[in-house]
A and B are shown apart, each in its own frame.
Chain A
Amino acid sequence: AQTVTQSQPEMSVQEAETVTLSCTYDTSENNYYLFWYKQPPSRQMILVIRQEAYKQQNATENRFSVNFQKAAKSFSLKISDSQLGDTAMYFCAFMKEGQGAQKLVFGQGTRLTINP
């Protein structure tokens, strides 16, 4: 079974700073996807960024980028030029490809606060 671990329960940074959220996972699969979801106080789950395991290039989406280290089973999220609207819970999630490609396994989450 796959497991996802987020070792930082809470983080707090000043607006405009850069922050990195950590995520490690355990799997014996070779083909899989990794995701970062954002959950603001509204409770809505919002996809931030996605990484396919077969791609060596790290995914980027505007101010959000990942550092994907497949051998180390590490998948960190970097938020550059942080904004007040980035305040939210962030969840790292794993999904294997093929059969079972409908089951997301989530980490425990990191509560990120951006201070003005």
Chain B
Amino acid sequence: NAGVTQTPKFQVLKTGQSMTLQCAQDMNHEYMSWYRQDPGMGLRLIHYSVGAGITDQGEVPNGYNVSRSTTEDFPLRLLSAAPSQTSVYFCASQPSGPPYEQYFGPGTRLTVT
């Protein structure tokens, strides 16, 4: 099993550009989430999904869009990149029942200039 994979590992964008961060998992987990990690802060939830076709907002959803057409994939779209979105982005997946352990991808470091 590859677990949770994310692409790309690094990305530099100019203000106003759009892009999609890819996330895939091969563990057949129902739940998937996107977090961002800023310096000096813990991870904060952007969006999450409890199954294909079902998504919801987390703590910091503004400027991001998600969809979940399959169990395996959960892409995160930046609609119009801003310097405030410079961060490290983590995708995670989790089974729908106990013990509720989240498995994290390796992260994507995004810089918006």
Does B43 contact A104, Cβ atoms closer than 8 Å? yes
Of all chain B residues, the one with the shortest Cβ separation from A37 is B104
Does A103 contact B45, Cβ atoms closer than 8 Å? yes
**B107 to nearest A CB, angstroms?**
5
Does A44 contact B48, Cβ atoms closer than 8 Å? no
Cβ contact of B42, chosen from A42, A44, A91, A101, cutoff 8 A: A91
Cβ contact of B106, chosen from A43, A91, A97, cutoff 8 A: A43
Contacts of B100 in A (CB 8 A): 33, 95, 97, 101-102
Q: Given that A43-B107, A45-B90 are contacting pairs, would A103 and B33 also be in contact in the complex, using a CB cutoff of 8 Å?
A: yes
- Which A residues, 89 to 116, have Cβ-Cβ distances below 8 Å to chain B? 91, 93, 95, 97, 101-109
State the main secondary structure of chain B at its contact with A. Answer: strand
Does A106 contact B106, Cβ atoms closer than 8 Å? no
Does B43 contact A106, Cβ atoms closer than 8 Å? yes
Cβ contact of A107, chosen from B42, B90, B94, B98, cutoff 8 A: B42
CA distance A102 to B48 in the complex (A): 8
Contacts of A42 in B (CB 8 A): 106
Tell me whether A66 is interfacial, beta carbon within 8 Å: no
Of all chain A residues, the one with the shortest Cβ separation from B45 is A103
Interface residues of B (CB under 8 A from A): 31, 33, 35, 40-45, 48, 50, 58, 88, 90, 92, 94, 98-102, 104, 106-107
Interface residues of A (CB under 8 A from B): 4, 9, 33, 35, 42-45, 47, 50, 52, 91, 93, 95, 97, 101-109
Besides A4-B42, A102-B48, A108-B42, 8 new A-B residue pairs in contact (Cβ under 8 A), listed by A number: A43-B106, A44-B107, A52-B98, A93-B42, A97-B100, A103-B48, A104-B33, A104-B35
